[in-house]
Amino acid sequence: MTIRSIDEASIGTATVEHLDRGALSTSELAAVIARDIPDGSFVNLGIGQPTRVADYLSSEAGVVLHTENGMLNMGPAAQGLDVDPDLTNAGKVPVTELPGAAYFDQADSFAMMRGGHLDVCVLGAFQVSFSGDLANWHTGQLEAIPAVGGAMDLAMGSKVVFVMMSLFTKTGASKLVPTVTYPLTGVSCVSRVYSDYATFDLTADDVVIRETWGISVSALRKRIGP
């Protein structure tokens, strides 16, 4: 397993290094992800940071948001009088419906994931391995109360799994790692990692750095090893 930049991978375009600026903010990262979601996709945005991607999807793109508690074509968060306790997203936040929305029960909601009908999901992560193993549901600490929700179903069911995360922990350790040390959510399921410092394609053989912000490819390689 090696970490390469795009030019070394001979794809024809070079890795873009943005060295005239710092790392991406969460909003900027959300915009980068939104830009890469194909028009017309059916997309599930995970609880937490990935929810922000919705703010950067244009209505012309025709992306349909799936929320696993049972809805397609979910609209933005509900405000004030629009708050309806019977209409929430998977994070239990009140939301709205867009024209063309559909409601369905839990068995249907997860059947459409596992059945290969959902094009993209964007999930947060504690760690991702070079080969695309995902850890995002449990810190593994003994006193922690485990809660998995739909994370494992999404990881295995979505056609494409994007991860949105900060690249480094508070102590500076890389969260993109040779081997995941947290309890696994899914095996070899992540195809791309979007982080504040760089985006990575995870292939069967190696990690390809697509784009960097505020750090050079060579400096990035040193920080994430191996």
Q: CA-to-CA distance for 148 and 201, rounded, in angstroms?
A: 26
Q: Which one among 5, 44, 49, 109 touches other proteins, defined by CB under 8 A?
A: 109
The letter for the amino acid at 120 is V
Residue 149 near other proteins by CB under 8 A: yes
- From the candidates 17, 68, 143, 211, give the one annotated as an active-site residue: 68
Three-state secondary structure call for residue 162: strand
Three-state secondary structure call for residue 183: coil
Which listed range, 14-22, 58-66, 69-77, 122-130, lies at the site for other proteins (CB under 8 A)?
A: 69-77
Residue 93 near other proteins by CB under 8 A: yes
Closest alpha carbon to 154 in 112, 126, 105: 112
Q: Which one among 31, 83, 98, 160 touches other proteins, defined by CB under 8 A?
A: 83
Q: Which one among 5, 88, 158, 212 touches other proteins, defined by CB under 8 A?
A: 88
97 is catalytic: no
What's the closest the beta carbon of residue 212 comes to other proteins, in angstroms?
A: 31
Q: Going along the chain, which residue ranges are E strands?
A: 2-5, 16-18, 42-45, 64-67, 71-77, 95-103, 120-123, 127-129, 134-135, 160-165, 176-177, 192-195, 198-202, 206-213
**Residue closer to other proteins (CB basis): 185 or 199:** 185
Q: What are the residues binding other proteins (CB under 8 A)?
A: 67-71, 77-80, 83-88, 91-94, 97, 103-107, 109-111, 113-114, 133, 138, 143-153, 156-157, 183-187
